[in-house]
């Protein structure tokens, strides 16, 4: 069974340009998460999809970030226009856990997309 | 509000020595707690989790962690380090929302 895949693995762009990151979750997983790790700091939550709906987007830094999940399958995270502080590793994770108050099960993570903004 | 603090961003141990990685948490509700590991060029992988059953939790690769409510801690241990344990380790909690709050990570180096 394929795991969570992310593309590209590394992207280098200039300030002001646009980048789109893609995540393919494990097949059948309704929950999809985006996280970001900046400069060796903690991994921070960005948002959570349940199927195609945004369940929680409280971690999105600002309106330069746009996440979509077409048809409840793969997801994209677009940064437009990119700023220097957007550099970091963007992780996608998926889970097949049913809804509930707490996350009790395992999140399956992709290898991450490293974004460098010059 | 909830938070996770990992004491020591870098820990070095000799092969065969005890591994102890520290994690303290703050949560307004009883949390579920997790340890994840990231090997170079790989995604995060679940080591073990505490979800209010037994306070001593055993995970993969010989790791275990003990939930101590009075100390708000969830330290990760392994009796004997192996070279293959070299990786970055993350403590995380699930509290009032369906997402994980992570600590800043601890890079474990195993010396021959």
Q: Give the model confidence (pLDDT) of A2-33 as tens digits.
A: 899 999 999 999 999 999 999 999 999 999 99
Cα–Cα distance measured from residue A65 to residue A48, given in angstroms and rounded to the nearest whole number: 14
Average pLDDT value for residue range B46-73: 92
Query: Pick from B60, B99, B94, B91: which is nearest to B74 by CA?
Result: B91
Interface contact flag, B43 A111, Cβ < 8 Å: yes
Residues of B in contact with A33 (CB under 8 A): 99
Question: Does A103 contact B41 at a Cβ distance shorter than 8 Å?
Answer: no
Give CA separation, A66 vs A17, A19, A61, A76, B61, in Å. 14, 11, 10, 8, 39
Contacts of B104 in chain A (CB under 8 A): 40-42
Share of chain B above pLDDT 90, in %: 79
Identify which of B41, B98, B101 has the shortest CB distance to residue A111: B41
* Interface contact A45, partner B, CB < 8 A: yes
How buried is residue B70: exposed, middle or buried, by Cβ count under 10 Å (0-12/13-18/19+)?
A: exposed
**Residue B62, SS3 per DSSP:** helix
Nearest-angstrom CA–CA distance, A66 and A86: 13
- CA of residue A60 relative to chain centroid, distance: 10
Nearest CA of chain A to the CA of B103: how many Å?
5
Reported as a pLDDT band with limits 50, 70 and 90, residue A37 is very high
Distance CA B65, CA B58 (A): 7
Q: Which letter, b or e, does each residue of A45-58 get, where b requires 16 or more Cβ atoms within 10 Å of its Cβ? A: bbbbbbeeeebbee
Q: Which of B46, B55, B71 is nearest to A4 (CA)?
A: B46
First to last CA, chain A: 37
The shortest C-alpha distance from B112 to chain A (Å) reads 26
Gyration radius of chain B's alpha carbons: 13
3-state percent helix, strand, coil for chain B, nearest multiple of 5 = 5, 55, 40
Local confidence band at A40 (pLDDT 50, 70, 90 cut-offs):
confident
A41 touches chain B (CB under 8 A): yes
Does pLDDT of B78 surpass 90?
A: yes
Of B43, B100, B105, Cβ closest to residue A103: B100
Please count the other Cβ atoms lying within 10 Å of the Cβ belonging to residue B106: 20
Please tell me the predicted confidence (pLDDT) of residue A1. Answer: 67
Counting one residue from chain A and one from chain B, the pairs whose CB atoms sit within 8 A come to 66
pLDDT tens digits, one per residue of B16-45: 999 999 999 998 888 899 999 999 888 999
Backbone φ and ψ for B7, nearest 5 degrees, come out as -85, 120
Q: Is B102 in the A-facing interface, judged by CB distances under 8 Å? A: yes
- The Cα A84–Cα A91 span in angstroms is 18
């Amino acid at each position: 069974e394929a795991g969570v895949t992310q593309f590209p693995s590394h992207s280098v762009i200039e300030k002001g340009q646009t980048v789109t990151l893609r995540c393919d979750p494990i097949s059948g997983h309704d929950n999809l998460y985006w996280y970001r790790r900046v400069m060796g700091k903690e991994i921070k939550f960005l948002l959570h999809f349940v199927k195609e709906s945004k369940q929680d987007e409280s971690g999105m830094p600002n309106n330069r970030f746009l996440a979509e999940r077409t048809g409840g399958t793969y997801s994209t995270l677009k940064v437009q226009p990119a700023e220097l502080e957007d550099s970091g590793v963007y992780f996608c994770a998926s889970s097949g856990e049913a809804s509930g108050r707490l996350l009790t099960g395992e999140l399956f993570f992709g290898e991450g997309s490293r974004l460098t903004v010059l | 509000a909830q938070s996770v603090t990992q004491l020591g961003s870098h820990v070095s141990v000799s092969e065969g020595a005890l591994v102890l990685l520290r994690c303290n948490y703050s949560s307004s509700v009883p949390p579920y707690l997790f340890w994840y590991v990231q090997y170079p060029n790989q995604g995060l992988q679940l080591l073990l989790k505490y979800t209010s059953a037994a306070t001593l939790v055993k995970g993969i690769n010989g790791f275990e962690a003990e939930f101590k409510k009075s100390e708000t801690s969830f330290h990760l241990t392994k009796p004997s380090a192996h070279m293959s344990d070299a990786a970055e380790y993350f403590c995380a909690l699930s509290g009032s929302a369906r997402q994980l709050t992570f600590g800043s990570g601890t890079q474990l180096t195993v010396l021959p």
